[in-house]
Structure 1
Amino acid sequence: MDGLTFTVRPGRVTGFLGPNGAGKSTTVRMVLGLDRPTRGRALIDGVEHRRSPAPLRSVGALLETSTLHGGRTAHGHLRWLAHAGGLPARRIPEVLERVGLAEAARRRVGGFSLGMRQRLGVAAALLGDPGVLILDEPVNGLDPEGIRWIRGLMRALAAEGRTVLVSSHLMSEMALTADHLVVIARGRLVADCGLAEFTAGFGSLEEAFMRRTEAVA
């Protein structure tokens, strides 16, 4: 990353875009305290996430779902997370219902489709009822109905006053979902603005993205 600075604000869906290798995953990992920057800081509500006294209540993150334990049930996976994070077990049926997995609660994760794993990952992100959500490629593996569902969920979470950061390579989805964009290329900030401002003078979000990121040397 090269002097990257931006702020993600509550009450809107912020799309986090960049070409492959731009540094999106590295940035997310630094925000979550999984990697440390050589200089500078990544703060959530003014605090480094690794120093948060209740990290699951502060931030919910959807990252890689292929590491889910296939032998656990959906309910068991969330129960383990709740226990580790000091969260009440009563949240488990609530989040399973919200992501559409209530009827699959006792099924083993090993038999889940990729889309069901994504839904379980979203349930885990919501478990602590956090004010900040960081979702990496949330539509991955979802069918058209699931894509409409996650689109509506992200908007609903933002409408509740939460901060929603969505990393994605799907321009069509970001054009339909994001209120604000943070775009990076080669570890540098390309744009931090509203969707309309970013696409002004271009035919589509995809065209604006290609032209603007190509200009970064």
Structure 2
Amino acid sequence: MPKVDILNIKGENVGSLELNETLFNTSISEQAVYEVVKNQLANKRQGTQSAKTRSEVRGGGRKPFRQKGTGRARQGSIRAPHYTGGGVVFAPKPRDYSYKLPKKLKRKALYSVLTSKVNDNELIVVDSLALENNKTKEAATALKALGADRTAYVVTAENDNLVYRAFRNIEGVDVSSASLINVYDLIRHDKLVITQDAVAKLEEVFN
């Protein structure tokens, strides 16, 4: 089993933790990660874009000039797509971009990213994220001491409003509970800062 150090919010080593083999020491599938990230981004799309086709643009009911004898190409409407102010060819319409992936594929992607975090020394396990006054300044100091002052994904065992309020205003930092952890947020942050209790929760929910 892979082992990691447990730190306190001052960055001091206070112990070690054995990680679950399935979650943190598995074969890495880049394809699974790609598919899941693409799926998450597609599911976030609003799909509210809309443009008008030539049949929906106002005006253009009259033929602009006679069919023959002008020397010009025949035209039926000034709202045809090649006219300024005309309709759009294959105009985008509101649609739902979301789709579902197999649960096993999503699990594989999560295991792959967690394993890569361990392999790349980007996993930081802390004993607790309790701050004295729950201030953002304290949270920023703690992240700096932990070596996660660039971008960090902070994960707690359960929804912790005090931790969320302390860390939410720091640029490049996102906060989540263990059960809501996702692949996209994991790969777009340099460090995964997770409490010891949250690691146990991950193993309980996703193993």
TM-score, structure 2 normalization: 0.24
Higher relative contact order (CA 8 A, sep 6+): 1
In terms of fraction of residues, the more helix-rich structure is: 1
Normalised TM-score (structure 1)? 0.24
